[in-house]
Amino acid sequence: MDPLTDSERDALSRRLAARREELREEVQTQLAKSEDPRVAGFANELAATEDWVLADILADMDIAMVTRDIAELGDVEAALDRVASGSYGTCSNCGEPIGWPRLNAQPIAQRCIRCQEAFEASHGKQGPPTL
């Protein structure tokens, strides 16, 4: 695969930043709707400080949509960190470039397709319990 061009990297970076803002807004909206006083307290704290580290505490609560969005937000933040460090678009396993088609489809990808498939094969996919 060819490395990303500057314009491709910039376009993906803008998409990631926009997604980060969408997720933050979704989390705040979801938290604001909760009737759980613990959640309301966290929502107020997030709104006041934008200290997104507090959002990790919510993973312990049974709030599926918030937990999903927080996990995705972590992936987006990690991708933006890779953009800032200059490692975005490089496979974290083999060091080869991750192609535009993969990153365009999945901007948070940290592995090339070959390494991702090997990762999934070696770590297995967790499915529903079976008898």
69-96, pLDDT tens digit by residue?
889 999 999 999 999 999 999 999 999 9
- pTM exceeding the 0.75 threshold for the entire prediction: no
* Burial of residue 106 (number of CB atoms within 10 Å: 0-12, 13-18, 19+): middle
3-state secondary structure of 109: coil
Nearest CA to 83 out of 10, 19, 5, 18 is that of 10
